[in-house]
Each structure stands twice: as structure tokens, then as C-alpha cells.
Structure 1
Amino acid sequence: MAMVIAVAVYVVAGAFAIREIEAIPRHDPETSRPKREAHEIRHSSLNRTRKCVLAALQRLGAVSNCSQHLDSTHLSWLDECYRHEDHRRIATDTSSEEDKKAGGGKNGDGKEYEYWTLMDSVLFCYTVITTIGYGNVAPRTFNGRIFVILYGLVGVPFTMLAIANLGKFLATILKSWTRPFVKCARRLRRRLCKPKYTAKEKQRLMERESRKSVKVGF
């Protein structure tokens, strides 16, 4: 029974391992919508910044009259174009770092992953070590395929040995349970069935009867 329990633990451990290895990023339109919106906002913000810079350069060209000296007032026009963009970028970077630290996915990258169910994982590992097969279900990732090969190389011989020991154990229990019933059946058959003699036994009985009759005659 210890080997059977060890096989069960091996199956459960393999189920958790293959479930973690085979987790793939989920492509959900609802989750990708905020990313598209953020990209559109960033693109529009860049366009506004570009227009602002062009306008500032035009004002500088009109005011400076090709002079090589520009005062701080003129340079502040360019700073105003990037001030709002810098604040927005800092806020965006801070929020993205917080999302990564929160760990939305298994690697803390904020992604949502699609996992196998625990029952499917257990059934898959059980069919691998018993060489039964599980339909068309197979690992998708390279790491998952390597894991299944190594898992089967260790698990198949171990499971076959456990099944053999379990068969011997069940056979011993079955014999111990059926032995009293076999004895009772034999006794009942001896009582109910009349003895059947062979030809030699019949000849011996006839000789005995003849001897008895001869003795009675004398």
C-alpha cells in the first residue's frame, strides 16, 4: 500500500507541475482594450507635443530674427510643450511598476494566464504513467513536452511495480477470505453427494461380500 500511496503523490505532484508549465498567456479582448486605449492616448499626446514644438519654433523664429542669443523667456515656450508630457509619463511609469509588483501573472508581469484544470492535469499524468493515453491532449510548450518524457521515464516503471505489488496483495487477501468458504463447500458436497466407486473398488467389495458368504456357509 505504501507504493500505491507514493504513486498517488507522484501523480498529484506531476499534475501541479504540468499545470504550471503549460500556463499560456490569455488573449482576452477585454484585457487588451486598455492597452489599445493607452497607446492611442500616447500617440495623440505625441502629436500635440509635436504641434506645440512647431508653434514654439515659429514664435522663436519670429521673435529672435535670426539672433544667436535667446533668453529664458523664449526657452520657456519649449519647456511648456514637454512639461505636461513629462508629468504624464512619470505617472504612467509609476502605475505600470505598481502593476508589475502586484503580480497579475505567474511571473509578476501583470499578464493573465490560462491554466489547465486540476482534474485534467491529474487525469493526464495518470494516463501518462499507466500508458493508457488521454485522447488528443498533449503539451503545447517545449518545456512541457520535455517534462512529460522525463515524467514518463520515471513514472511508468514505478507504476508497473506498484501495480504488481498491489495484485499480489489483493490475491493474498482474496485467498484468505475464500478459504473458509471453500472448506464449507467441500464438506457440504461430501455429505450430499453419494460416493462413486471405480471398477477396482467395486471388485474389491464383491470379493469381500463373497468371502463373508463363504464364512457364513461353514
Structure 2
Amino acid sequence: MKQKPIHPALQSYLDGEVILLDKPLHWTSFDTIRKLRRLIGVNKIGHAGTLDPLATGLLIICTGKNTKRINEFMAQEKEYTGTITIGATTPTYDLESTPENTKDFSHITNEKILETVKQFVGEIQQVPPIHSAIKQGGKPVYLAARKGEEVKLEPRIITIYAFEIENIKLPEIDFRVRCSTGTYIRSLANDFGAALGVGGYLSKLRRTKIGAFDAANAESMDGLEMKINDLKADWDKNNI
């Protein structure tokens, strides 16, 4: 697609920028790309690693020549904080679907939780969620899963560099995880609940780091939109 002329104040985005965005809750990663493509007017734009709609936090967005760096950023170590709720499961492993299969968790102790964490540190096998964008036969598997069709995914080798429990207030367990690319935190929550014997699902998630990039330095969507509009307005004011 031929690039249409963009506002002169935004030429750096056409040339190539790396944007650190704090993805809003309920937005898909593609929602952010669509919004910025319209706001900036640049065709060549993409993100380095999907965040689910119910997750917030760091999303690296590349424009122009820096889209060549997307794979570099995607390969880097990630850090997440979040909450696992035990005593039930969900088909999607998070709150995109309704909790079911409830079980009593009153016998679960803090010691049991801390001991179980150890099973998930290091190089482990993990099966991705069937409600995910992984493709089989050219189509995302979540499309088949939503129709109730059988989906079988093979386990993958991932690495959990650190899995720390930050707070326990059952049924909620707050955690921090550092992991390799390809890790599904939803699967980690589901597998952790299964290891406890009472089930579990991901009830909150925030990506805090990708490599050396930190969510603390990311811009909100509203802030980024205001910044871009201010650049346009300042240029127009000084070049009339």
C-alpha cells in the first residue's frame, strides 16, 4: 500500500519510531495499532507481542524502519504481575469466560502455595490455551474452540526465570513472573491451579517489562493521542 502524505510534524513516525504504550484494559493489541495508524497516518506499523484484552501494560509499537526490530523485541525476556484465583477454572483460563468446576480451597495453605511454585521455575513444558491466536490450518485455533470443536495443541518448552508470590488472600494469589518469549501466563495460572488440586484461572494481568523496557516509562493512549495532536497543532501554528 502506497504511503499517503502525513502531517509534517509526524515525519519521525514515518521514518521510524519505537513507542512504549501502556495498553488500556479491554483493548486488543490490534485496537491500538488501528487507533495509531489513523491518528498518525502511517501505514508501516506493528506491535512486538500481543497482550490479551483483559491485560494491561507494556506494548512496544514500531513504525517505519523500526518495524524490522519487532522480532528482536519479541524474543526478549518478559515480566508480568497479576493475580491467580483458585478454586475454579475457566475455558479460556482467564475471565474472558465464566468460572466453572468450583472446588473447596479451604485446605490450601501458604506453605502449599509456595512449595507448588517451585514446580514452575526453570525450563518447563507448557500447552498453550486452545482459546489463543495460534494457527492450525491457517486459522486461529480459538475460532474452532469457540464452536466447541476439539483442538489439540502440543506442549512447548518455555523458561520461567522467576515465579514470586507477592501476596496471598485466598482465593486470590498475587504474583510476579519473569519468563521467556512464548510463555502463556493464562496457561501458567491454569496449570498452577491444577497442581494445587483445586483449579485456578488468571483474574488479572499486567506486563511490566520487555527486555530493558519498563511499563513505568510507557505512555497512556490518551497521553499519546494528546502528544500527537499537540505536535500537529504546534507545527500548524508556526507554519501558517
TM-score (norm 1): 0.19
Which protein is richer in strand relative to its size?
2
Which protein is richer in helix relative to its size?
1
TM-score (norm 2): 0.18
**Structure whose alpha-carbon radius of gyration is higher:** 1
